[in-house]
Amino acid sequence: MDPSPPPPKRVLLLTNSEHGQANVFLATSYALLTLPDADVEVHFASFPPIQPAVSSTSAHARRDRPSARPIVFHALDGNDMVTAWSRPEILAEQAALYTPSAVPLVHAVRRGLLLLKVMLPWSGDEFVRLMKAVVKVVEEVGPDVVAVDPAFAPGLTALRGLGCRFVVLAPNTIKDFAMPLQPRGEALWKYPCIGTPYPFPPPPPLLPQNTLFTLLSLLLSILLDPTRRALTRYLSTHFPTARLTTLSDLSLNPHFAGTDRATKFLVANLPEIEFPLSYLPKHIVPCGPMLRPARAVGEMDCELAGWLEQAEAGVVYINLGTHVFYGEGLAGEVARAVRVLLDRVAGKGVRVLWKIPRGPGKDGGVFGEGSVVERVLGGELREGTVRVVEWLEAEPAAVLAVGTVVCAVHHGGANSFLESVAAGVPQVILPLWMDTFDFARRAELLGIGRWGNRVAGTLCERGELGSVLIDLIAGERSSGYRQKARELAELCKKGGGGRVIAARHILAEITVGSVEGGKETERLLGPASI
């Protein structure tokens, strides 16, 4: 008799449902299912909002590889991250960041404290509820390996409490995890303090101030973080054996308890699209942009596809993400910046696609007849040179891949930056907070784009953004931006791209566990200590 085929490798992907975090998991799940030399059973644990995208990814993988197994979705019981941090007090703090403080240190600390709340937005009871949900899924699935979102602290805490073997799958950059481990204290002085508009590298006159800001913002953020203290107290009372584990904890101490083995970090970044680093720790694996396959624009919206392809001199694609809501002031500044560009390139065939999401109660003067956008760009809207939409059926990556997009304007989110890099599209970044400033710096450092509000101090100022757009699209350096962007895009394709590289590293962890053997590594599940 022929021996029965080996069972499929069972992988559990555990993530928040926000696309900024979940997209790398969707991309990697597609890669796992379509690897030609592997039989993989993918389990995807997250919150209900992401389930349609999981189903779509599963269907896409099975179209491309009919023998692929469907993704098994496990809905976590509890509040997703957006629901948890959409409390009025947190939203009010976020809105306040649109107007920086006159004292940079105060603003940096405010940004740091808000980030801590956004990363740990759950109450003690909500946090424990999610931990229990994770434990339940792990016990039901019995995975060979778990890949976890580093921003999903309940999952990290539960996995460590269970003694599970896991890898971190992150949309983050190499710097996010490697900076604390740089030699000579470089984390304090070599890189601009997060949340500040300082250039890279900080010039000598700013070095003392930058170092002071970095130290103080770090210390004050830790000392003034009531959320972490409250969660730690709650866990010590309800689950004494569980240790609160966050992205920061894992970055500073990635090793498994009692072993020399470090948790592997698979990051959607490459050294060639990163700040210069003196040291790359072995446990940090640069995979490159992990992008999920997107259906072509023509499959989703034939009319839009035709409009994009007919742009004689290219399309400027403006999409500041789903969390930036336009009031009349912001919409007016962006519209007038577009006006500056179009006046400069009149008659050359440049088109503008601008996505403005509709936010409840925040749209006064933005949409419709008589709105600021219509008053500034009415002629172009009527003739079709400018198209303003509330929603696009096509994915951003598909829009960028059309080939006629010559500039992407975005807020500096990791996905937006990496999608533009992978598509070879120069970009203008309008950072608002925290690591978005780093992506603006990267664009300029790499020669693939511009920081669009460096001087403004607000999200957008018409004159500054207008001149930056002209430089990128019609200036003397425009061909250089395009050439460098194309070179980096080719680099990102090597090895099948980031999603394939990440998928193969995840499967390699199963082999590592089998070779090591022993009670700790034969099975992922250790004693159910939580």
Average pLDDT, the chain: 86
Cα distances (angstroms) measured from residue 371 to each of 317, 336, 380, 479? 21, 13, 14, 35
CB 25 within 8 A of CB 63: no
Residues 6+ apart with CB under 8 A from 64: 34, 293
Q: What tens digit of pLDDT does each residue of 301-313 get? A: 999 999 999 998 8
Q: For residue range 136-162, what is the model confidence (pLDDT) as tens digits? A: 999 999 999 999 999 999 999 999 888
Mean pLDDT of 488-513: 92
- 3-state SS of 451-497 is ECCCCCCCCCCHHHHHHHHHHHHHCCCHHHHHHHHHHHHHHHCHHHC
Beta bridge partners of 74: 45
Question: Distance (Å, rounded) from C-alpha 289 to C-alpha 412?
Answer: 15
Highest mean pLDDT among 74-88, 144-158, 213-227: 144-158
What is the three-class DSSP state of 170?
strand
Q: Which CATH class is domain 9-290+497-522?
A: alpha beta
Percentage of the chain lying above the pLDDT 70 cut: 86
% the chain with pLDDT above 90? 57
Q: pLDDT-derived band of residue 213, with 50, 70 and 90 as boundaries?
A: confident
Same fold, 9-290+497-522 and 297-491: yes
| pLDDT at residue 512 tops 90 | no
Q: pLDDT tier at 346 (50, 70, 90 boundaries)? A: confident
C-alpha distances in Å from residue 14, one per residue of 38, 45, 193, 305, 409: 21, 5, 31, 35, 31
> Residue 12: is its pLDDT beyond 90?
yes
What ranges do the domains of the chain cover?
A: 9-290+497-522, 297-491
Quick one: pLDDT at residue 33? 97
Query: Residue 447: CB partners within 8 Å, gap ≥ 6?
Result: 480, 481, 484
pLDDT surpassing 50 at residue 319 = yes
Supply 333's token pair. 């500044």
Average pLDDT (242-263) is 74
pLDDT at residue 376 greater than cutoff 50? yes
Q: What average pLDDT score do residues 82-97 get?
A: 61
Q: Count the neighbouring beta carbons within 10 Å of the beta carbon of residue 101.
A: 14
Residue 257 has pLDDT above 60, yes or no: no
For the record, the structure tokens of 339 come out as 């006006």
Q: Does 210 have pLDDT greater than 50?
A: yes
Q: What is the pLDDT of residue 102?
A: 45
Find the mean pLDDT for residues 81-104: 58
Please give the Cα distance from 496 to 290 (Å, whole number). 10
Cis ω for the linkage preceding 201 (within 30 of 0): yes
Q: Give which of 173, 181, 152 is closest to 247, Cα–Cα.
A: 152
Helix, strand or coil for residue 146? strand
Q: Tell me which of 212-221, 392-401, 448-457 is least confident.
A: 212-221
- DSSP-based three-state secondary structure for 129: helix
Average pLDDT over residues 252-276: 82
Q: How far is CA 125 from the centre of its chain?
A: 27
Pick the CATH number of 297-491 from 3.40.50.2000, 3.40.190.10, 2.60.40.420, 1.20.200.10: 3.40.50.2000
Token reading at 107: 């603003």
Banded model confidence at residue 111, pLDDT cuts 50, 70, 90: low
Average pLDDT over residues 66-90: 83
Instruction: Decide: 340 and 462 in contact? Cβ < 8 Å.
Output: yes
Question: Structure tokens of 417?
Answer: 């930056």
- Give SS3 for 215: helix
**For residue 524, what pLDDT is reported?**
33
Nearest to 57 by CA among 30, 75, 23, 35: 30
Q: Residue 365: pLDDT above 70?
A: no
Q: Given a cut of 80, is residue 226 above it in pLDDT?
A: no
- Quickly state the pLDDT bin for 116 (edges 50, 70, 90): low
Helix 414-423 to helix 478-492 angle (10° resolution) is: 100
Q: Average the pLDDT over each of 29-43, 403-417, 430-444, 462-476 and give the range with the smallest value.
A: 430-444
Strand duo 265-267 + 166-170: pairing: parallel
String of b and e for 144-176 (b: at least 16 CB within 10 Å)?
bbbbbbbbbbbbbbbbbbbbbbbbbbbbbbbbb
Does the pLDDT value for residue 464 go beyond 50?
yes
